[in-house]
Structure 1
């Protein structure tokens, strides 16, 4: 089948499809059988193939804790900088400099601790300088936050944004950079887990302060000073109660591997 998708801008080799269409292609999020790939025609006239099932490293499942977590992940605000960039991809870095982060997210049903296949996991975060694609002016403090009901993106950038679909183990994998910081917030990654076309969990993922300190002592992060909010002072993080979604981080080459299980209850 072929989906014709309007592009904000042409990016060679990247299949683009809205999350609603992707979820329709993947079924209702409850089936473990991979769906077929879809041919995507970009506005530039190129055709590429998007496989809805993510290409996560099969060994990732062994890296998660042997015991299922079976804990519901708390809902948290999506913030003012969300939009659907229509990019289904694992590597979301584009030209953004920073420490490499391989992020693996496992989606799990808390009722029976079973993996949730065919769920669309959508992530977005700021770059090393604290900027969000689509809202660069607003995220510098000069343009004001758009907020819900605003005018939407104000520029054509889509770096550090993307979505993947969980495999049979309920896992997606992204390659990104360690997020930067901006005033009033601790280090975080925004996440939406779309279980089907009508059920979504919105949350944020957080980082160990000792690791952040090490990363921020290196370039390009070290060029910025004045970080004012850490985990223990971040109101949004603490809204998750005693168990905010914390990444398990380990060194991997010259970067990091981050693992987290997101528990959902339908």
Structure 2
């Protein structure tokens, strides 16, 4: 996969990149997870060995290549009929996962409260960021176990605001951590986040970032992740959303200036990274996708 172009953000105030409150220690739920990890079963958490990294599902459909056309007009179904490992992608310059990206050692994964479903506000804040509401369901499956769902894995999701900015880095403060959150997959391998439709900043197709960890207990720093990837969204639906909502005004020309074929991450295809995106009939949208790893 290719390297992402850094996101344009508002010029930050002068000062060291690590300005902001010191991250608190990981909360009690991680210690609880360590104590209860045995009840989930090590085999379930770490997956089973053997088998191919690409498996057809029970329908017998052919396995996919994961390359796609790269054109992407935006009418994809969001889930593949095969179980192929989702491509590894860059975390970009603003992951805030302790990896010292952008010369700033921010780590929201160590914050108490980062495990949450609704990520529209910063932890402990009562005001949500603006944007069209979006509920996104992400299902994780195992290519080495006949596409079985992976329970107990942790997924860290983050993305830009409707204006194209990333929290933490824009404000140079870890306390501003909206549009970032972690959840553990349930028995069906699924997590659901309540967030907003991401905006489109210059040079990139709209997207979300995610990292996969073997459990909540170890989802505390980027060094423990087992997968980094990005999620794409149907272009036609995004055009409709951006045109109808003033908060996305900058996204209209930015989206018009780029395609999946010219995007520096998705130009090699979006078959395994394209979500669904549909109106919920109440002013918001729902999205879903199934991704697979070799666990």
Fold agreement, TM-score > 0.5: yes
What is the Cα deviation at residue 229 of structure 1? 2.4
Partner residue in 1 for 2:194: 175
Partner residue in 2 for 1:105: 138
Partner residue in 2 for 1:73: 86
Shifted more, 69-78 versus 196-205: the winner is: 196-205
Size of the aligned set, in residue pairs, is 211
What is the Cα deviation at residue 182 of structure 1? 1.0
Partner residue in 1 for 2:101: none
Distance 1:117 1:180 in 2: 31
Partner residue in 2 for 1:247: 275
Tell me, yes or no, if structure 1 residue 206 matches structure 2 residue 206.
Answer: no
Distance 2:241 2:265 in 1: 22
Name the CA shift for 1:264/1:20 in 2 (closer, same or farther; >3 Å). Answer: farther
Distance 1:79 1:19 in 2: 28
Give 1 or 2: higher strand fraction. Answer: 1
Partner residue in 1 for 2:288: 259
Partner residue in 2 for 1:149: none
Distance 2:117 2:170 in 1: 22
Gaps spanning 5+ residues in structure 2: where? 1-20, 46-77, 97-106, 122-127, 219-223
What is the Cα deviation at residue 251 of structure 1? 1.6
Deviations 1:178-214 (A, max 9, x none): 0001111110000011125445110000000001100
Partner residue in 2 for 1:116: 150
Where 1:101 maps in the other structure, the secondary structure is strand
What is the Cα deviation at residue 174 of structure 1? 0.3
Cα root mean square deviation, aligned: 3.3
Name the CA shift for 1:25/1:164 in 2 (closer, same or farther; >3 Å). Answer: farther
**Is the 2:141–2:149 contact (alpha carbons within 8 Å) kept by the matching residues of 1?**
yes
What is the Cα deviation at residue 243 of structure 1? 2.3
What is the Cα deviation at residue 128 of structure 1? 0.3
What is the Cα deviation at residue 27 of structure 1? 2.7
Where 1:217 maps in the other structure, the secondary structure is helix
Q: After superposition, where does 1:128-207 map in structure 2 within 5 Å?
A: 128-136=162-170, 154=173, 156-196=175-215, 197=218, 198-207=224-233
Deviations 1:46-97 (A, max 9, x none): xxxxxxxxxxxxxxxxxx97x9631210000000101142301000012211
Distance 1:260 1:18 in 2: 30
TM normalised by structure 2 equals 0.63
Gaps spanning 5+ residues in structure 1: where? 1-6, 35-63, 138-152
**Is the 1:19–1:120 contact (alpha carbons within 8 Å) kept by the matching residues of 2?**
no
Distance 1:264 1:245 in 2: 13
Deviations 1:133-172 (A, max 9, x none): 01116xxxxxxxxxxxxxxx55531000000000011000
Task: Show structure 1 runs of 4+ deviating over 6 A.
Answer: none
**Is the 2:23–2:174 contact (alpha carbons within 8 Å) kept by the matching residues of 1?**
no
